[in-house]
C-alpha cells in the first residue's frame, strides 16, 4: 500500500543553522512512526514543515502519492494533517467545544450554533476513549486533559495524519500510560501517527518504526521490534551510550547531612513534611524516591533555606543550619541543582558567563571591592563551558535564554559542582533531557560521590534513583516510609513503598 505521507530530501535552513539537511521520512497507513533525536536535532522543524509552518528550501512532500505544496497550516488541515504542539494552543477561558471549533465555527444565519458541535465532540470522545467533557472550561481541566482536547481538535477536523510533538514531556506517569492507550485506539481506527520523543521506553511501547535524526541529518529508519534501546540510543547520539553508570567502590565516610525530625509546611500552610529524619554521608548518593507532590519539593527548599522550618534540625558537617540564610548555607558548602532550572537555576536574561557566577560573584577573583572583574568571570565561563560541554551560539556571551534545555542544565550542574560542595543536592537533574545529556550528568554526579562528596538525589524517575543511589529513602505523604539499600531492592519494592506500604528493610 502507498505511504500516506512522504517527505523527500527536505532541507530547511535558519540563519546560521541547517536544521534539516536532506531528510527523508515516510509514514505508512495506520502505523505509528517515532521521530527520535537529541534536543535541537531538527525534529520539530521537520514536522513544522509538514504542517505548513515553515517552507523548506528544497525537497518534496507527497500525500498519498500526490506531490503537494503546504504553504500554511490550513492547507495541511485540508490534506488531513493535524498537529499537537509541544505547547498547547488553547484559549483558557473558553470551553472545550469553543476551543475545538475555533476557526471553523458552525453558524446559522451568522449565529453561533455549538450544540451539534458539542454532540459530535462527545461522540468522538467516546469513540476514541478520550473521556473529555465538551462543556468544561480549559482552565479547569488538567494538562493531560488539555492534550486530549488538542487531539479532539484534530479528530474534529477529520485529520488522518496525527503529529505529536513530545507529547509526554508534560504528563505524569499515569497520564503517559493513558496517552499510550489513546494512541493505540487512534491507530486501531486507521489513523497514521508521527510521534516525536527522545524517550526510548515510550518508543518501544508504542511505535512500529523509528526514524532517527542527528544534527539535522537523517541517520536511518529502523523497525522498533528488531532494534534494542541501546542501538537506538547509539543512532541518536552517534556513539555508544551506557545506561548503566559505573560507580567506584562504596566507601562512605563521615556524616555530612543530618536531618532530624524535620517538619515543614507547604504554601497552603499544611504540613508537607512530617518529622522526617535522614542522613547522608560523604561518598554516597542517597536517592529520595516518591510520587510527585509528596513533600520532596518542600524538603529540598527547607534544606536549602528557601522555606522556613516548622520544627526539627538540619546539620551540615555537624553545624546547625536549620535557620541559616541561603547565603550561609552556600558558604557552609551546600550546592543545589534546583528542580526548576528556568525559575530558580538561571537568570535567563543574563549571559552564560554571568550565570556561572550567580553564587560567587561577590568573591575574589570575580570581584574586588565591589567591582566586577570581567576577565576573571569570562575566564571561568570559558573553563566551565569547556569542562561541561555547554553548547551555545556565542559561547560565554550567549544569553541563557537561548540555550537548549539540556545545555541550560549542564551549565547549572557545572556551576554547582564547580562550587566544590561537601553536599550536593540534585533535584530532577535530568528532567526533559535526551539520553546523551542524561548519561553525561549522571557520570558527573557519580564522580562527585567517588570524590568523597555527599550527594542527595531527589527524582521522580525511578530508573534514575535505582541507577545512581547507594541508599534509597522513600517518601509518601511527607513521611519517610523507609530507607533501603539500593543493591537489595528493585522497582516493584520501591513502587510499593512509594504507595505507602512499609515493606522496606531497615538498613
Partner 1 sequence: MKFLVKKEVLVGLTAVVLGLLAGALFMAVTGNNPFTGYFYLFAGGMMNLERLGNTLAMATPLILTGLSVAFAFRTGLFNIGAAGQALIGGLVATAIGLTVGLPKAILLPLILIAAALGGALWAWLPGILKAKFNVHEVVSTIMMNWIAYWLTYYTIPAFFKGSFETESRLISDAASLKTPFLTELFAGSYINMGLFVSLVAVFLVSIVLNRTVLGYRLKAVGYNRFAAEYAGINVNRHIVASMAIAGALAGLGGATLYVGYASSMQIGILPSIGFDGIAVALLASNSPLGVLGSAVFFGILQSGKGFMNAMTKIPPEIGDTIIATIIYFAATSVLIERWFASFTKRKGGKSRV
Ligand X SMILES: Nc1ncnc2c1ncn2[C@@H]1O[C@H](COP(=O)(O)OP(=O)(O)O)[C@@H](O)[C@H]1O
> Given candidates 5, 241, 330, 445, which one binds partner 1 under the rule CB under 8 A?
330
Question: Considering only residues 294-313, where is the footprint of partner 1 by CB under 8 A?
Answer: 304-306
- Residue 359 binds partner 1 (CB under 8 A): yes
What is the distance between the alpha carbons of residues 448 and 109, in angstroms, rounded to a whole number? 70
Report phi then psi at 64, rounded to 5.
50, 45
| Nearest CA-CA partner of 387 in 353, 414, 358, 352 | 414
Name which of partner 1, Mg ion, ligand X, none residue 359 binds, using a CB cut-off of 5 to 8 Å depending on partner kind. partner 1
Name which of partner 1, ligand X, Mg ion, none residue 430 binds, using a CB cut-off of 5 to 8 Å depending on partner kind. none
What is the distance between the alpha carbons of residues 126 and 131, in angstroms, rounded to a whole number? 6
The residue among 210 and 475 lying less far from ligand X, judged by its C-beta, is 210
The residue among 52 and 312 lying less far from Mg ion, judged by its C-beta, is 52
> Given candidates 23, 36, 40, 497, which one binds ligand X under the rule CB under 6 A?
40
Considering only the stretches 46-54, 356-364, 435-443, 459-467, report the one whose residues sit in contact with partner 1 under the rule CB under 8 A.
356-364
- Residue 499 binds ligand X (CB under 6 A): no
DSSP bridge partners of 67: 62
Name which of ligand X, Mg ion, partner 1, none residue 52 binds, using a CB cut-off of 5 to 8 Å depending on partner kind. none
| Residue count of the chain | 507
**CA distance to 255, 359, 371, 392, 393, per residue, from 399 (Å):** 39, 18, 22, 9, 9
Name which of ligand X, partner 1, Mg ion, none residue 42 binds, using a CB cut-off of 5 to 8 Å depending on partner kind. ligand X
The residue among 349 and 490 lying less far from partner 1, judged by its C-beta, is 349
Q: Which three cell numbers stand for residue 70?
A: 503546504
Instruction: Determine if residue 206 is left, alpha or beta; phi over 0 gives left, psi from -120 to 50 gives alpha, anything else beta.
Output: alpha
Cβ-Cβ contacts under 8 Å for 422 (sequence gap 6 or more): 256, 282, 316, 317, 333, 334, 453, 454
Count the alpha carbons within 13 Å of 308 in the hemisphere toward its beta carbon.
Answer: 3
Say how many residues touch ligand X, by CB under 6 A. 11
Name which of partner 1, ligand X, Mg ion, none residue 41 binds, using a CB cut-off of 5 to 8 Å depending on partner kind. ligand X
Q: Read out DSSP for 58-113? A: EEEEEETTEEE---SHHHHHHTTEEEE-SS----TTSBHHHHHHTTS--EETTEE-
Name which of ligand X, partner 1, Mg ion, none residue 40 binds, using a CB cut-off of 5 to 8 Å depending on partner kind. ligand X
Name which of Mg ion, ligand X, partner 1, none residue 354 binds, using a CB cut-off of 5 to 8 Å depending on partner kind. partner 1
Count the alpha carbons within 13 Å of 475 in the hemisphere toward its beta carbon.
Answer: 30
What is the distance between the alpha carbons of residues 24 and 47, in angstroms, rounded to a whole number? 12
- Residue 211 binds ligand X (CB under 6 A): no
Name which of Mg ion, partner 1, ligand X, none residue 304 binds, using a CB cut-off of 5 to 8 Å depending on partner kind. partner 1
Edge to edge, what strands does the sheet with 217-223 contain?
66-68, 58-63, 5-14, 17-27, 217-223, 209-214, 32-36, 192-197, 161-165, 81-84
The residue among 221 and 255 lying less far from ligand X, judged by its C-beta, is 221
- Residue 44 binds ligand X (CB under 6 A): yes
> Given candidates 27, 37, 151, 341, which one binds ligand X under the rule CB under 6 A?
37
What is the distance between the alpha carbons of residues 225 and 394, in angstroms, rounded to a whole number? 41
Considering only the stretches 43-51, 174-182, 219-227, 367-375, report the one whose residues sit in contact with partner 1 under the rule CB under 8 A.
367-375
Count the alpha carbons within 13 Å of 365 in the hemisphere toward its beta carbon.
Answer: 8
What is the distance between the alpha carbons of residues 31 and 33, in angstroms, rounded to a whole number? 6
> Given candidates 344, 383, 391, 431, which one binds partner 1 under the rule CB under 8 A?
344
> Given candidates 4, 32, 33, 42, which one binds ligand X under the rule CB under 6 A?
42
Name which of ligand X, Mg ion, partner 1, none residue 17 binds, using a CB cut-off of 5 to 8 Å depending on partner kind. ligand X
Considering only the stretches 11-19, 311-319, 346-354, 464-472, report the one whose residues sit in contact with ligand X under the rule CB under 6 A.
11-19
The residue among 253 and 362 lying less far from partner 1, judged by its C-beta, is 362
Q: Which three cell numbers stand for residue 326?
A: 541561603
- Residue 323 binds partner 1 (CB under 8 A): no
Q: How far is the CB of 492 from partner 1 (least distance, A)?
A: 36
What is the distance between the alpha carbons of residues 231 and 211, in angstroms, rounded to a whole number? 13
Cβ atoms of residues 193 and 164 within 8 Å: yes
Binding site for Mg ion (CB under 5 A): 44
Considering only the stretches 43-51, 65-73, 334-342, 462-470, report the one whose residues sit in contact with ligand X under the rule CB under 6 A.
43-51
Say how many residues touch partner 1, by CB under 8 A. 28
Positions touching partner 1 (CB under 8 A) are 15, 304-306, 325-327, 329-330, 336, 338, 343-350, 354, 358-359, 361-362, 367, 370-372
Binding site for ligand X (CB under 6 A): 14, 17, 19, 37, 39-45
Amino acid at each position: 500500500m502507498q505511504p500516506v505521507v512522504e517527505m523527500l530530501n527536505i532541507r530547511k535552513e535558519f540563519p546560521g543553522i541547517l536544521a534539516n539537511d536532506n531528510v527523508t521520512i515516510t509514514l505508512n497507513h495506520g502505523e505509528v512512526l517515532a521521530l527520535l533525536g537529541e534536543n535541537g536535532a531538527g525534529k520539530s522543524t521537520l514536522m513544522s514543515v509538514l504542517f505548513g509552518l515553515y517552507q523548506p528550501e528544497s525537497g518534496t512532500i507527497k500525500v498519498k502519492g500526490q506531490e503537494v505544496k503546504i504553504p500554511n497550516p490550513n492547507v495541511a488541515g485540508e490534506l488531513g494533517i493535524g498537529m499537537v504542539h509541544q505547547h498547547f494552543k488553547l484559549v483558557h477561558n473558553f470551553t472545550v467545544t469553543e476551543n475545538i471549533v475555533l476557526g471553523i465555527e458552525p453558524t446559522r444565519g451568522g449565529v453561533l450554533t455549538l450544540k451539534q458541535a458539542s454532540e459530535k465532540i462527545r461522540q468522538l470522545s467516546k469513540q476514541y476513549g478520550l473521556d473529555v467533557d465538551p462543556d468544561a472550561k480549559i482552565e479547569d481541566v488538567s494538562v493531560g486533559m488539555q492534550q486530549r482536547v488538542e487531539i479532539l481538535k484534530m479528530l474534529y477536523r477529520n485529520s488522518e495524519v496525527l503529529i505529536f510533538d513530545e507529547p509526554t514531556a508534560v504528563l505524569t506517569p499515569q497520564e503517559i500510560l493513558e496517552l499510550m492507550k489513546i494512541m493505540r485506539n487512534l491507530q486501531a481506527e486507521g489513523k497514521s501517527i508521527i510521534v516525536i520523543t527522545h524517550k526510548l521506553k515510550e518508543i518501544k511501547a508504542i511505535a512500529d518504526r523509528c526514524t532517527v535524526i542527528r544534527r539535522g541529518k537523517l541517520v536511518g529508519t529502523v523497525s522498533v521490534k528488531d532494534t534494542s534501546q541501546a542501538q537506538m540510543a547509539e543512532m541518536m547520539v552517534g556513539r555508544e551510550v551506557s545506561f548503566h553508570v559505573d560507580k567506584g567502590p562504596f566507601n562512605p565516610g563521615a556524616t555530612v547531612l543530618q536531618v532530624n525530625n524535620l517538619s515543614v509546611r507547604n504554601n497552603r500552610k499544611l504540613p508537607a513534611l512530617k518529622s522526617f529524619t535522614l542522613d547522608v554521608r560523604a561518598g554516597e548518593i542517597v536517592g529520595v524516591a516518591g510520587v510527585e507532590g509528596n513533600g520532596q519539593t518542600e524538603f529540598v527548599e527547607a534544606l536549602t533555606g528557601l522555606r522556613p522550618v516548622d520544627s526539627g534540625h538540619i546539620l551540615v558537617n555537624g553545624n546547625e543550619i536549620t535557620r541559616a540564610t541561603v547565603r550561609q548555607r552556600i558558604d557552609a558548602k551546600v550546592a543545589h541543582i534546583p528542580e526548576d532550572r528556568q525559575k530558580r537555576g538561571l537568570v535567563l536574561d543574563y549571559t552564560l558567563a554571568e550565570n556561572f557566577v550567580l553564587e560567587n560573584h561577590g568573591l575574589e577573583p570575580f570581584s574586588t571591592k565591589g567591582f566586577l572583574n570581567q576577565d576573571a568571570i569570562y575566564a571561568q565561563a570559558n573553563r566551565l563551558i569547556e569542562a561541561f560541554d555547554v553548547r551555545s551560539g556565542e559561547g560565554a556571551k550567549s544569553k541563557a535564554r537561548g540555550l537548549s534545555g539540556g545545555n541550560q542544565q549542564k551549565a547549572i550542574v557545572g556551576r554547582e559542582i564547580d562550587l566544590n560542595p561537601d553536599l550536593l543536592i540534585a533535584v530532577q537533574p535530568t528532567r526533559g533531557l535526551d539520553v546523551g545529556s542524561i548519561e553525561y550528568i549522571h557520570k558527573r554526579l557519580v564522580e562527585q560521590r567517588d570524590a568523597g562528596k555527599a550527594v542527595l538525589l531527589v527524582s521522580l524517575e525511578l530508573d534514575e534513583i535505582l541507577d545512581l543511589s547507594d541508599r534509597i529513602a522513600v517518601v509518601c505523604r511527607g513521611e519517610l516510609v523507609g530507607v533501603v539499600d539500593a543493591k537489595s531492592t528493585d522497582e516493584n519494592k520501591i513502587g510499593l513503598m512509594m504507595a505507602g506500604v512499609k515493606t522496606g528493610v531497615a538498613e
